Amino acid sequence: MSGAEPAPRVRLRDVARRAGVAQSTASAVLTGRSEEARIAPATRARVQAAAAELGYRPNLAARNLRSRTSRIIGLVSDAIAAEPYAGEMVRGASAAAVTHGRLLLIAESDGSPSVEDDLVHGMIDRQVDGLIYGCLATRTVTLSAAVRCLPTVLLNCLADPLPGPAVVPDDVDGGREAAAALLAAGHREGIHVVGRRYRNVLAGRRRLRGIRARLAEAGCSVAGLLDCEWTPAEAYASVSALLRRTRPAALICLNDRVAFGAYQALAAAGLRVPDDVSVVGFDDSVMAGWMQPGLSSVALPYHEMGRLAADLLIKEDRHPVVHEIGMLLRHRGSVGAPAPSRA
Amino acid sequence: MSGAEPAPRVRLRDVARRAGVAQSTASAVLTGRSEEARIAPATRARVQAAAAELGYRPNLAARNLRSRTSRIIGLVSDAIAAEPYAGEMVRGASAAAVTHGRLLLIAESDGSPSVEDDLVHGMIDRQVDGLIYGCLATRTVTLSAAVRCLPTVLLNCLADPLPGPAVVPDDVDGGREAAAALLAAGHREGIHVVGRRYRNVLAGRRRLRGIRARLAEAGCSVAGLLDCEWTPAEAYASVSALLRRTRPAALICLNDRVAFGAYQALAAAGLRVPDDVSVVGFDDSVMAGWMQPGLSSVALPYHEMGRLAADLLIKEDRHPVVHEIGMLLRHRGSVGAPAPSRA
């Protein structure tokens, strides 16, 4: 069990003892104040050698008291690390933080305002240099007084007024991408959108706006809108009901889970993707590549969003500007020419 | 733009000024030393009122210097937040940390030893109270000198010697669960295992050991072993090849991605789950509930593992003991009685 005891931390006094100097001398050398403190070059070299031999690491907490920076940034969210793909925002933010010599303190509120308040105060207590305030689904939030105490960048959400920069996906642009892919394959009619009215999530409304705008530019329009929750089971039921009424040429599914359920409904009805019906999804989740045929899906730039949020915070960009990150279609095999009966 | 400036931090001197007392008096009251410092009750009340009015929060960094605790714990991993479901380990650890008044500092090394070393040193510099060292896939690791400087709990990995407690899933037990489900449904033969020899991941070998042991107890054995990577595409190819040679009664897929590919291969061969072939998976990922029929899958207790790792660290349990967390089968619709031709 003795092997389980961690090595004791090397302290300034250990370095001073090894170098045979006063602690104040060692401190002056190791905090870059040799010249002001008139330390002789030989002494300076001896202290530096002792520090290297002992593996001395400066006490950042002590330095923080002087510099008032912890080189830690906080990320508070409702449940961002929960969602399989949204976790990429955390990874992007963490990678950017590490690039700039920062580390990321994370905590989730599960949507509870009182938990969020405790978490933000916990971060203030630990003197984080700033806060990334993130949301699982793009939406408009109301910020607490605690959050407004800190330099803040919003990630995947908006607030009025903005406390600083906000980073969100350009879902309108994403919607245009999805429509453009179908137009390019020759589709002009029978295009249905699946997954409208999903709670108060902004993404769905904005994606639909982009789809309509792009189709209108080509002189077409949406043939039908299917309301359903963004789950495979709901989408399956909704698309199955549609197939009993009509034969769509193409389905734009407002996220990949909806497309997953749509595939199941098409298979159950004996229809092939894309020969009989083309399908487009949103998110470009891992699953999109597993489906047969692979699902063409408009990618959510989660990693890039997380990275930009951390960059803006670290660079102390305080401009209350909304940064919209472009969304690109990842082409796989689910979009084809309209079935011959429609051509 | 002036609205974008965060409110300045309230300092001890602000509280002292508001209460009309010396800074040392305010400090004594706010650090619970009123009695030792002989502060009059009325003065004490005035300081507390001033602190409450101004929203004063004690400077933890200053307290840390005295107490040598930051109330921050670190979580370093290869890519734990990356994998959709493994992210639950981070969530479990974070929730347990918050319960005990700690926050979680996270960073991923992407498997690079030099990056890991920098990250761990960064955490030492920030005086984390201890470290959770996590892995995406269960495996045996070699710990760096930096990690051995800190009180450490291993999460989803093992080391020899152990630096302290380790928390891993009980995959042998999980394998027994999968085999037991098929035995309970009446299966005795034609049970194939899909996904053997997946790199150096311990989980697959341990799951297989449990499967073999449980079948042996019932006087049965594994009919065949299919080697494949744990991806849907590899599993699809592997199971498709099997179906050209023989008709299995049941497939135990060593994770849910493998089961996803197996479903596709069975559907392509015109076989129904579970009427023609029963299927069991491992992980109980979100996807298991989306498949048709729902996949019966042995759950990986990721959230519980993360929570226990944080608990052990915070309670300063330094015993080098391996904590194996039980795995339970989540029953859905993919296991049925053997097809009549076999009954």
Residue A185 lies in a domain: yes
Q: Are B105 and A104 an interchain contact pair (Cβ–Cβ within 8 Å)?
A: yes
Residue with tokens 């969210």: A77
- Domain CATH code at residue B38: 1.10.260.40
Q: Which of residues 314-343 of A touch B (CB under 8 A)?
A: 318-320
**B29: domain range?**
2-58
Residues A77-106 have pLDDT tens digits of: 987 666 667 788 988 999 999 999 999 999
Answer yes or no: do B333 and B187 share one domain. yes
- Taking each continuous run of H as one helix and of E as one strand, the counts in chain B are 12, 12
Of B85, B121, B163, the CB nearest to A4: B163
Looking at the structure, do residues B197 and B255 belong to the same domain, yes or no? yes
Report yes or no: A305 at the B interface, CB cutoff 8 Å.
no
pLDDT, tens digit, 9 for 90 and up, residues B205-260: 999 999 999 999 999 999 999 999 999 999 999 999 999 999 999 999 999 999 99
In a domain, A42, yes or no: yes
Residue of chain B nearest A233, judged by CA positions: B290
From the CA of B58, how many Å to the nearest CA of chain A?
A: 7
pLDDT in tens, B262-294: 999 999 999 999 999 999 999 999 899 999 999
Same domain as A255, residue A197: yes
- Considering the domain boundaries, does residue A255 fall inside one? yes
Is residue B288 less than 8 Å (CB to CB) from chain A?
no
Does any CB of chain A come closer than 8 Å to the CB of residue B17? no
In this complex, do A105 and B107 lie within 8 Å of one another by their Cβ atoms? no
The Cα B118–Cα B109 span in angstroms is: 9
pLDDT of residue A23: 83
> Are A280 and A313 members of one domain?
no
Give the distance, in angstroms, between the CA of residue A226 and the centroid of all CA atoms in the same chain: 28
**Residue range A59-68: mean pLDDT, rounded:** 56
Backbone angles phi, psi at A281, to 5 degrees: -115, 180
A107 and A220 co-located in one domain: no
In a domain, A62, yes or no: no
pLDDT band at B156 (very low <50, low <70, confident <90, very high): very high
Same-domain check for residues B291 and B144: no
Residue A126 placed within a domain? yes
CB-neighbour burial class of residue B340 (10 A; exposed 0-12, middle 13-18, buried 19+): exposed
Share of chain A above pLDDT 90, in %: 63
Q: Which chain A residues in 198-257 lie under 8 Å from chain B, judged by CB atoms? A: 231-233, 236, 257
Domain CATH number, residue A40: 1.10.260
pLDDT confidence of residue B130: 95
Give the pLDDT of residue B200. Answer: 60
Verify that B97 and B161 share a domain, yes or no.
yes
Share of chain B above pLDDT 70, in %: 90
Which residues in chain A are contacts of B71 at CB distance < 8 A? 126
CATH of the domain at A184: 3.40.50.2300
Q: Which one, of B9, B13, B134, B131, lies nearest residue B70 by Cα?
A: B131
If asked whether residues B217 and B89 sit together in one domain, one would say no
Q: How much is the pLDDT for B83?
A: 66
Total domains, chain A? 3
Asked whether residue A59 is assigned to any structural domain, the reply reads no
Residues A89 and A209 in one domain: no
Statement to judge: residues B293 and B312 lie in one domain = no
- The mean predicted confidence, pLDDT, of chain A is 89
- The shortest CB-CB distance from B84 to any of A126, A152, A286 is to A286
ipTM of the complex as predicted: 0.77
Is residue A60 a part of any domain in this protein?
Answer: no
Dist. CA A43–CA A20, nearest whole Å:
9
B157 with B8, same domain? no
pLDDT-based confidence at residue B60 (cuts at 50, 70, 90): low
Does residue A175 sit in the same domain as residue A291?
Answer: yes
A1 class by beta-carbon count within 10 Å (0-12 exposed, 13-18 middle, 19+ buried): exposed
